[in-house]
Amino acid sequence: MAKEFDIPVLPAYLEIPELKEGIMDGEGPFKSVQEFQKPLGFPGEKVDNWQQVAIDKMGELKSKYRSVQVFLDSCVKCGACTDKCHYFLGSSDPKNMPVARQDLFRSVYRRHFTFTGKYFPKLVGAKELDDDMLDDWYNYFHQCSQCRRCSVFCPYGIDTAEISMAAREVLDVVGMGQKYCNQILGKALTIGNNLGLPEPALRDTLLDLEEEIEEETGGVAVKYPLDQKGAEILLITPSADFFAEPHIDGLIGYGKVFHQDGVSWTLSSYASEGANFGMFIGSYDVMRKAALRIRKAALDLEVSRVMVGECGHAWRVAYSFWNTLSGVGAGATDEFGQKLQDQLDHRYPQPQHIIEYTHDLIQRGKLAFDKSANDDRTVTFHDSCNVARATNMGGISDGQFILPRDVIKAVCNNYVDMERGTIKEVTFCCGGGGGLLTDDLMEIRVKGAMPRMQALKAVEEDNGVNTLAAICAICKSQFSKVLPKFDFDPYMIVSVHQLVSEAIIMDKPQIAVQKAQPQTDTDDAMLAETAET
């Protein structure tokens, strides 16, 4: 399947490419089949009256989502977004320009739902939803990582992710689902995580991890409790953290931080997944179903805090949607939300990000670090799109940019940002988000990574950056795969909590070590010095 393609050459400056029409034409990712479609309530193959089904679904979606209705009507084709998508910049295919991608959907909307499109289709670019159009939808809406960079630049805030989600939902109901997302969702909704890891396997993995850490730290018994009723914190983390590299080193970091704080915490085998691919396929129902498992785990385990590990879209779903979907949050006035919210401890934000938690401990001087442990590294931080553009941390303006950087700077001496136009709210996607992290989409993943790789190249050359830190499981997996294609070291991608893990000074058993006072930079330097001597 994987066809040969040219890996983009990294330019000294990011340039807007000339259009190459049709260069990313194709079949799209592997299609889902009956086995994966049915559990989600979608038909297993293209239905006979697919056209009618699709149009009806479009009508339903635009009446349920203000975003879809307003965005379809409001675009003036000004062109502001045309050079903002990493997939366009990396592939040159004009259909990867945000507005052109939306127009695949909008042209059909115009044909079927607007006066001008019905009577003057040519004039307004209205098009029929025929087989070719549907194939284009399938192909090009799976070349969008729903990163929302275009939305930052649009004068009306039009968010291609919303259109892309709507289109994928239409594709699902006509029986053209994507295998990768829907297969994974089946596992998450039956077994509890995307990897399909059952409880015994998860327990074994965690035991191994405990042994490994005990060995590495010279006898510190960092625990990874599973299904521990009455724990204070329920940690919901992407299941990649249990197995994948470099993710697992982040999980080691979380455990060490919890251990040092002395808080009781637990993972859940029933809800052992932070990721929620329901968002990628645009289905409110599926997304809610996945979120409800977490609610159930929180209720069953009687926890008072729900915390989220390093995962980009999981944090978007958790921060922005959980309160809506399942009531994990605060301020509910309805019975459903209140039931859970009565149980939660509202002295803490609900849900809380692991970065917020660690950051708070650092602020309060509860953690001690030997920053020199990371002295072999010059670190830069990749803002993951969902965290950067759709969430907050710490309840302060731009907190989602500030907190992770603060944590990194508290544990590393050498930190540099990439070029301003490629980070924070205008960050470039890693290229693998939004349900694209599958080998059958490798070409678009590599091409879409180009703008991020270009910015990374620049700080590598100018500042000697050799470590790329991220707080997203998809970013980490994607970078591990694509970094070598651009001649970077695949191991330069790390979890932020891996950096924490490497620098944190663990209390030895039986020896009460004085915890560090509230830290300032000078304190850090002193600590580092003491550690060196």
Interface with other proteins in residues 308-367 (CB under 8 A): 319-321, 323-324, 327, 329-334, 336-337, 349-351
Residues 6 or more apart from 236 whose CB is under 8 A from it?
268, 271, 273, 274, 294, 306, 307, 308, 309, 314, 318, 351
Question: Backbone phi, then psi, for 266, in 5-degree steps?
Answer: -155, 155
Spatial distance between the Cα atoms of 328 and 200, rounded to a whole number of angstroms? 27
- Among 45, 56, 73, 199, interactor with other proteins by CB under 8 A: 73
**Interacting positions 246-275 with other proteins (CB under 8 A):** 270
CA-derived radius of gyration, the chain: 23
Judged by CB under 8 A, the residue of 128, 130, 302, 398 near other proteins is 398
- How near is the Cβ of 158 to other proteins at its closest, in Å? 7
Binder among 57, 62, 313, 359 for other proteins (CB under 8 A): 62
Question: Do 504 and 361 meet the contact criterion of CB atoms below 8 Å apart?
Answer: no
Find the angle CA(400)-CA(404)-CA(406) to the nearest 5 degrees: 115
The nearer residue to other proteins, 279 or 528, going by C-beta atoms, is 279
Site string for other proteins, 420-459 (x = CB under 8 A): ----xxx---------------------------------
Q: How far is the CB of 113 from other proteins (least distance, A)?
A: 11
- CB of 233 within 8 A of CB of 258? yes
Nearer residue to other proteins within complex by CB, 94 or 253: 94
Considering only residues 495 through 524, tell me which ones interact with other proteins, judged by CB under 8 A.
none
Of residues 354, 288, 360, the one with CA closest to residue 315? 354
- Cβ-Cβ contacts under 8 Å for 424 (sequence gap 6 or more): 383, 388, 398, 401
Q: Could you tell me how many residues make up the chain?
A: 533
Give the Cα separation of 393 and 358 in Å (integer): 12
Least distance in angstroms from the C-beta of 257 to other proteins: 21
Largest pairwise CA distance in the chain:
82
The smaller minimum CB distance to other proteins, of residues 133 and 213, is found at 133
In the complex, the smallest distance separating the C-beta of residue 288 from other proteins, rounded to whole angstroms, is 6
Cβ distance to other proteins smaller for residue 336 or 491? 336
Is residue 490 within 8 A of residue 480, CB to CB? The reply is yes
- CA dist list (Å): 288 to 30, 180, 185, 284, 298: 25, 19, 12, 6, 15
**Is the CB of residue 471 less than 8 Å from the CB of residue 310?**
yes
Q: Would you give the DSSP letter of residue 279?
A: T
- Evaluate whether 453 touches 418 at the Cβ level (below 8 Å): no
In the beta sheet, which residues pair with residue 233? 265, 305
The helix (run of H) or strand (run of E) holding residue 458 is helix 442-463
CB of 222 to other proteins, least distance (A): 29
Give which of 313, 478, 502, 514 is closest to 407, Cα–Cα: 502
Binding other proteins (rule: CB under 8 A), the pick from 10, 26, 56, 69 is 69
Q: State which amino acid sits at residue 45.
A: E
Site string for other proteins, 179-198 (x = CB under 8 A): ----------xx--------
Q: Closer to other proteins at the Cβ: 40 or 267? A: 40
Which CB, 159 or 524, lies closer to other proteins?
159
Nearer to other proteins, 324 or 466 (CB): 324
Take residue 319 and report the two structure tokens written for it. Answer: 């921060």
> Residue 38, class by beta-carbon neighbours within 10 Å (0-12 exposed, 13-18 middle, 19+ buried)?
middle
State which residue, 115 or 514, has the beta carbon closest to other proteins.
115
Query: Which parts of 272-301 interact with other proteins (CB under 8 A)?
Result: 284-286, 288-289, 292-293, 296
Q: Which is nearer to other proteins, 55 or 292 (CB)?
A: 292
For other proteins (CB under 8 A), the number of binding residues is 92
Pick 116 or 517: Cβ nearer other proteins: 116
Classify 268 as helix, strand or coil.
coil
CB of 330 vs other proteins, minimal distance in Å: 5
Minimum Å gap between C-beta 101 and other proteins is 10
Question: Least distance in Å: CB of 86 to other proteins?
Answer: 15
Residue whose CB is less far from other proteins, 92 or 413 = 92
Candidates 43-51, 365-373, 396-404, 521-529; binding stretch for other proteins (CB under 8 A):
396-404
Minimum distance from residue 328 beta carbon to other proteins (Å): 9
Q: How far is the CB of 2 from other proteins (least distance, A)?
A: 29
84 vs 382, which CB is nearer to other proteins?
Answer: 84
If the CB atoms of residues 4 and 18 are measured against other proteins, the closer one turns out to be: 18
**Which residue intervals of 217-310 are DSSP H helices?**
240-243, 247-261, 284-300
Residues 272 and 202: beta-carbon distance below 8 Å: yes
Least distance CB 293 / other proteins (angstroms): 8
- Within 120-179, which residues bind other proteins (CB under 8 A)? 120, 122-125, 148, 151-159, 162
Output the smallest distance, CB 324 to other proteins, in A: 5
Stretch 203-242 residues interacting with other proteins (CB under 8 A): none
CB neighbour class for 205 (10 Å; exposed up to 12, middle 13-18, buried from 19): middle
Among the listed residues 45, 83, 419, 507, the single contact to other proteins using CB under 8 A: 83
User: Looking at beta carbons only, is 16 or 526 nearer to other proteins?
Assistant: 16
Task: State the Cα–Cα distance between residues 450 and 431, nearest whole angstrom.
Answer: 8
Min dist CB 91 to other proteins, Å, is 13
CA 162, 319, 284, 50 torsion-angle sign: positive
Which one among 390, 441, 472, 482 touches other proteins, defined by CB under 8 A?
390
DSSP class per residue in 407-424: HHHHH-S-B----GGGSG
Site string for other proteins, 26-45 (x = CB under 8 A): ------------xxxx----
